[in-house]
Amino acid sequence: MSNIAPIAPKLPHSLENHGVTRLDEYFWMNDREDPKVISYLNEENEFLKAEMAHTEELQQQLFEEIKGRMKPREESAATLVDDWYYYSRYEEGKEYPIHIRRKGSMEAPEEVILDVNLLAEGKPYCAVLGSLVSTDHKLLAYAVDYQGRRICDLRVRNLETGEEFEETITGVTGNLSWALDHQTFFYSTMDEQTLRADKIFRHRVGTSPEEDVLVFEETDETFRCSISRTKSREYMVIHCGSTLTDEVWILDSLHPTGDFRIFRARERGHEYGIDHYDGLFYILSNENAVNFQLFTCPDNGPTHTGWSLRIAHREDTLIEGFELFANELILEERRGGLTHLRILSRKEGDRDEYLAFHDPAYTTGLSYNPSALRPILRYSYESLTTPSSIIEHHLETGEETIVWQKEVQGEFDSKQYRSERIFAEAADGTRVPISLVYHIDTQLDGSAPLVLYGYGSYGLSIDPYFSLSRLSLLNRGFVFAIAHIRGGSEMGRVWYETGRQMQKKNTFTDFIACGEHLLHIGYTSQDRIYCMGGSAGGLLVGAVINLRPDLFAGAIAQVPFVDVVTTMLDDSIPLTTGEYDEWGNPNDKEAFDYMLSYSPYDNVKPTAYPHLFVASGLHDSQVQYWEPTKWVARLREKKTNDAKLYLFTNMEAGHGGASGRFEAIKEVALEYAFLIDLAKEVE
């Protein structure tokens, strides 16, 4: 059955691979320049608006609730860089941040260095993807995306006069870094077809972009490149990376016109990254260590050999990052599904201690620590019940200070919410963590609606995080759960390795096991359990509702990657070539067959599907708009019940949705209204 009559498909497009013929009756939707495609998307939006008209009051109420929890005038934590304090602020009624600094102290006069509200005037979309002040604090380079495809225009501003230089560099990524001469910066650009960062250029302020020098080009289409600077500021670093392999090039930052030299040549499967301080390079490497080890080597000799082991590999602990101070080395480690911060002596001494956290499930990580000489470690902390915070830990005294915490306006009391951490058992016996949060008045007797969220790809861990907007669900009796499924790195690097390529289905079956477990222990019921995921998490949602259309009563798929095989066979589509190590290369028959067996679009079947809300962006550079569009069209054709099926396409945005502070809330309110409406129907 269909809720809306789709535009009649054109003749099916035949796709032939490895002796398999696939007919795609909606392949014609791949052309964003076709007026019929735009008309179709607009019709779907109008259909959604009409079908959800009875929730408009609820949507407005949700919008006002979420907006009401946000401080009208909100500032970030100030970061001290040399003698300058940098921070940003949202002013009442304005959609975009204002970037500010003060010299010497926070009592000094404010200097506005960039007001994004002015950049956004007359623009339906505006996002500053990169901004960086020169090392002498006199110049600002910033990159602005006006479409949502993460392709930016880069400009330079004189912070002493407020005037901008004439040059505008187009087609940049937003990734840039200043050299120590205060006049030279490096930036990366995108391949126009694949939207892959493939080139690094050198620019001298005041010169024409046509004079910019290409200093590095990544010709392997499975790699991307970026530019940064070490903690010591002494080296510029080009990092080339694919899913499973890294390569680093370095250059003396005081001599930016020199040639970059290779740190260590790429070797298939070798992932590494570097930093530098006090005459030593520090190298985090997975060579013979699935969970990574930390090495050092002197900066006055060869860098590809002679590494000295500093922190050895441990089977139960993944090293995710590190920070260098004059006397301390800080490790960000993941063990037992949670992140831990470990303080060690950097040179001599036996110091070895962990910071203590008390929530059963939480998120923490190293924050921005620009100075190695200042004995203050900044780290972030939040939990399902604790708003995000920036905490300073004095490395000498152990004293801690909360320097910033997200303020929740209105009647919020963290003690009114409870978080838990439980485990489900997957089909192969693997224990899969689940983090949950709910209001203390919510009864866990099967009557509560529950949203299960998941991602499970790229080794990205979805840690227990606080959400202002989520409170609107919790206050209405919802339970919110995060399934820490394989494909992420929550339980270490092996957790990722066993959830990608030819073991990808573990991601989906783990999620199903989590849903089944929550039903089994009575936290919700069959007609009140919903699932949600975005991007690769949208693939998760699509695969799961094909495998178990009976498990969830409803689902939300945000910018879902659902036409897996067709996309991965088309190397002209942005980002495809860099994804082979994640999903597999379907030009190989074994990989093709495996991907085809779970691809959501290819496995739509005549069955009763759950209620489904799908969100998309016309200018999405990560997941092309036609994937969710085609998926919804095929579901309309195939599904055998009258379950709700909605497609919302933001016609002015990309992968991240609306760019404004408040505009983004409207999309959240729409999705929440969908869930709340479903829950009301079964009360």
Residue showing tokens 């991601």: 507
Residue type present at position 402: I
The span from the first CA to the last CA of the chain, in angstroms, equals: 25
Angle between helix 505-520 and helix 589-598 axes, rounded to 10 deg = 30
Task: Find all residues with CB under 8 Å of 192, minimum gap 6, and list them.
Answer: 171
Task: Find all residues with CB under 8 Å of 410, minimum gap 6, and list them.
Answer: 68, 69
C-alpha closest to that of 207 among 253, 260, 169, 255: 169
Active site residue 655: yes
Contact 88, 76 (CB under 8 A): yes
Number of H helices, E strands in the chain: 12, 38
Positive or negative, the CA dihedral 532, 536, 541, 544 is negative
Residue showing tokens 């939040």: 382
CA–CA separation, 239 and 175 (whole Å): 12
Active site residue 620: yes
3-state secondary structure of 625: coil
CA–CA separation, 488 and 536 (whole Å): 11
Task: Find all residues with CB under 8 Å of 430, minimum gap 6, and list them.
Answer: 486, 506, 510
CA–CA separation, 514 and 254 (whole Å): 53
**DSSP letter (8 states) at residue 12:** P
CA–CA separation, 154 and 648 (whole Å): 31
Task: Find all residues with CB under 8 Å of 98, minimum gap 6, and list them.
Answer: 88, 89, 90, 91, 112, 114, 115, 116, 117
Choose the catalytic residue: 535, 599, 616, 659. Answer: 535
Choose the catalytic residue: 246, 359, 602, 620. Answer: 620
Active site residue 252: no
CA–CA separation, 586 and 170 (whole Å): 34
Task: Compute and round to an integer the Cα radius of gyration of the chain.
Answer: 25
C-alpha separations of 149 from 154, 300, 535, 548, 654 in Å: 15, 42, 15, 34, 6
Give catalytic residues, as residue numbers: 535, 620, 655
